[in-house]
Each structure stands twice: as C-alpha cells, then as structure tokens.
Amino acid sequence: MPGRDREFAATPQTVKRHWAILRNGHRSAAQPKARREGVRRSPFVVRQVGILGCGSHLPERLLTNVELERMVETSDDWIVARTGMKERHLAAAGEATSDLATAAGRRALANAGLAPEDVDLVVVATTTPDHYCSPSTAAIVQHKLGLTRAGAFDVNAACTSFVTALSAAHAMVAAGTVRNALVIGAEKLSTVVDYTDRETCVLFGDGAGAFVLGTDAAQGELLDHLLGADGSGAELIQVPAGGSASPARADTVTASRHFIQLRGRQVFRFAVAKMAEVVEELLVRHGASLDDLDLLIPHQANLRIIEAAAERLRLPMERVFVNVERTGNTSAASVPLALDEAMQTGRLKKGALVCLVAFGGGLTWGGSLLRW
C-alpha cells in the first residue's frame, strides 16, 4: 500500500502522535464528539503500564577480594582499581537460577500486594538457565511460586536480557494480552566462571531482581524502550562450547571452553559508546535532555565503564546509581537488583525521570525510560 514502507522518524512529535493513535484508534480528530463516542473503540488500545512492585535476592555466601587473593594471582587493590568491586555473592551448590529467581519474584509479588492468581505471565531473563534445552527456567519459577494461571518463557540477550524482557512484557500488558506480568532477571554465573582465570573470576556474581508490571501502578510508569544488536561482535563476550555449534565433549571440558571468555578492551569501548548512545536517544525521543534525567541505573558491569559512560554523557555520578562494589557483575540480574536497592534506599523520588541501560554479549544493548 502507498506509504506502508515509509521510514518512521522518531522525533518527540512523531512518537507522541504514534502513541496517541495507538491509544485512541485511527479515528480522525475532526470527527464530531458524539460520533466518536458512538463508534466502538479499536480492540487494540495501549494501556499505561507501571511497576506495581519490586524485589531482589542475593545469596548468603560472599566472595571477597581477599579470598580471591588466595585463589589467583591478584590483589584487592588491583581488583578495585580496575573494576570497583570489593565483593560478590555466590549461590550454594544446591541452589539453581530458578531458586534465586523464585526468591526475588516472591518478594516482588509481596511488595505489589498480588495473589498468585493475579499473575498472567512470568518472564525470566537469564544467561544461566536451570537446563540447557528444556524446560524453561520461567516455567520452573511459575510452578515454584504457584502461579497456575500464568504463561512463562525465558529471554536470553546476555546482560541486556532484563531490559529486553521488560520491553516484551510491557508490550503484552499495554496491549491487554495479560493483566499483570512478573519479570525477573536471575543468574548463577558462578557455574560458568573459571576460578583459575584472574581476568574473569573477579568480575561475576550471582543474584536475582524482579519487577511486577500492571496497569494500576502508582509508580514507575514505563515510557519507552530501545533495543539493538550487532552479531559481528559475538566473539567478544561468549561461552564458546555447550550449545549446538560446539556440543559438550570431553575435549571442550578439558579446554575450559564452557566458561565465560571476554575481550576486555574491545568490550570497554563498545559498552561506553553504546550506553551513552542509548540514553541520549531515549531522551531525545521524548523531548527531554540530560538535565531532565534524575537517575541513571546502568548495568553494573564494571565501575570504570559506568564512570566513563557518565563522563561521555557529562552526567555527574551523583545522578548515577552504583552498587557494583557489593554485587559484582550479575548480568541479567544487575539492573533490577540496582533499581530495587535504589527504591529501598530512597533514591527514587515521585515524578523522577529514570533511565535503565545495559549492554552485553551478542553484542546487544538496550534501555528503558521510566517516570517514577
């Protein structure tokens, strides 16, 4: 059809007009009011969606820099100088990703004041599922929480997984496909970390964070999301073996190919540039500037990356939330863990403009804009 292939220019004006059309249907504003009221509304109406509740969970076991000094050739000073990290949490041998996710999800549901029958969807964002192929971790969490009415699926976009899952769940609640959705970021990264490799073993921790989304929220209105990927950089952050491209064999285990590998310098440059780009684009799309941004909650990958991205944006660190020194890099769990802590510690004020931003393997990147 004519005009069907036209490019959509995401200016503040076109974004507002686009959302107005989705909310109200494609009726002309020139129609008489009485006639508009008499016409049946389009079945697809975008609903305002916010965060009904948050929750998080960190395992009891702490792995400090002092302990790492006894495991590999490193030092507390070296780790802090290069990462900003002082400790990270590790799940117990019998704990699975679904256990961490269930604990965070249970707290989020209690915070939201919802009963199990009120939840229609469970989305678990993770790179470390309970099972390689089946079942999904989300299905296991759904069962553990007794959410018998809810559908369930996993999302894997590496450290961008939670923002990706949040955008998908937001769309489904906004469209009326589901009423309330439980979105969880959870990781047991200790299962894919080589604790003889000093470059990577200092970085990662385990944990989970969760949001409950719904249309009756008094806080955390979701405004927009932005997602991106570049598969040409897939080898920069990867677990080389264990999938269909390189199935698990004795030689892949011997060669330690089932552990996280990353190229730090290239990842640093990519992360700083993309996080700044995502924040700027989301603000421009909503007619806002960095002066309007009250709080940036970035993926807690590394303090140096966070500081460099803030410097690139010329955003003072006072408006950036950081907890990486106590959690390490928890991949898909880091953004919801940080937001939950920001809420618990009073960093989120009513009406505040908040941006979530992440990057990860794939390569992937993404962000979400919220009005608290």
Q: Which of 54, 111, 159, 355 is catalytic?
A: 159
The count of other CB atoms within 10 Å of the CB of residue 70 is 7
- Give the span between the Cα atoms of 93 and 161, in whole angstroms: 24
Residues in the chain: 372
Q: Which of 156, 299, 302, 355 is catalytic?
A: 299
Q: Which of 65, 180, 302, 329 is catalytic?
A: 329
Query: What DSSP letter does each residue of 60-115 carry, written as one string?
Result: SEEEEHHHHHHHSS--HHHHHHHH---EEEE--TT--HHHHHHHHHHHHHHHHT--
Q: Is 299 one of the annotated active-site residues of the chain?
A: yes
Q: Is 329 one of the annotated active-site residues of the chain?
A: yes
Place of tokens 């989020």: 108
- Give the span between the Cα atoms of 148 and 122, in whole angstroms: 11
- Give the span between the Cα atoms of 231 and 51, in whole angstroms: 32
- Asked if 332 and 299 touch (Cβ cutoff 8 Å), the reply is no
**What residues are labeled active site?**
159, 299, 329
